[in-house]
Structure 1
């Protein structure tokens, strides 16, 4: 059983639907899941290493930048001890914009640059997640948890 943080920001509800699907799957698999939102339950980056896995969800709007509510977290990652925590990034966007889900890539790129252990896929959805997207989100969550479990076994 893993100790998991699910941290996200959602404006239209699409990324929230994704976060709920991930949380539901992980809870079904009997993992401890703490859900926080960037706008109401921000987390101190020093707490990230307390978790086996951290799922970070963000939406992208027209310019694709990291949403305002997540900017401080994004900047503070530079000073974080990421330890052996596994990170997985996901989010929603709109392919009508020039940069599709750029905020997901920015978050993933920053974590990679800082040497974080990352799930190999950055899960992106165009607008509202479909039933197929939800099934794939469950696979995405399972893959991240397997990476975390293998790290804990090796430690």
Structure 2
């Protein structure tokens, strides 16, 4: 059975709500899902999963969440070659770099050899379209299952 880990950081609860909805989308697709809210969880864990979902709010004008900083730096030692990955997050469009944390994390995953399977999900503050978030999770799980079956 394919295994997916979802790691997220939330300050106001918006990204946690998105993570919950994405997780609901993953559930029932025939994959095993592990969820970690930072600061719980170690980057090394990512190597043990077929699929990696990361979620973070964007702080200020394009900064990664404080809770993600140590995790992000510690990711440098990982080999994620061939792992399927995607990123989601919340932000405020009044800032120039809307949801930049999604892009920062996507770039890091790519640098480490992961394959980004779908465009990152960027949500303005609190998610209004719950179906969009659950569909994101379901699509990711199906992408991971496809790859696992083909190996």
Q: Same fold (TM over 0.5)?
A: yes
Q: Deviations over 1:87-106 (max 9, x none)?
A: 11000000011210111110
**1:92 aligned onto 2:90:** yes
What TM-score does the superposition give when structure 2 sets the normalisation length? 0.91
Provide the C-alpha distance between the structure 1 equivalents of 2:121 and 2:78, rounded to a whole number of angstroms.
23
Q: Deviations over 1:36-65 (max 9, x none)?
A: 1112x122x222121121110000121221
**1:73 aligned onto 2:52:** no
What TM-score does the superposition give when structure 1 sets the normalisation length? 0.88
Q: CA deviation at 1:30?
A: 4.4
Between 1:143-152 and 1:119-128, the stretch displaced more is 143-152
Matched length: 151
Which segments of 5 or more consecutive residues in structure 2 lack a partner in the other structure?
none
1:129-148 maps to which residues of 2 (within 5 A)?
Answer: 129-130=127-128, 132=129, 134-148=130-144
What does residue 62 of structure 2 align with?
64
> What is the DSSP-based 3-state SS (H/G/I as helix, E as strand, rest coil) of the residue aligned with 2:122?
strand
Distance 1:55 1:84, change over 3 A: same
1:95-114 maps to which residues of 2 (within 5 A)?
Answer: 95-114=93-112
What does residue 45 of structure 2 align with?
47
Q: Deviations over 1:95-123 (max 9, x none)?
A: 01121011111001111222211122100
Provide the C-alpha distance between the structure 2 equivalents of 1:126 and 1:59, rounded to a whole number of angstroms.
10
Structure scoring higher RCO (CA < 8 A, sep ≥ 6) equals 2
Structure 1: 4+ residue segments shifted above 4 A: none
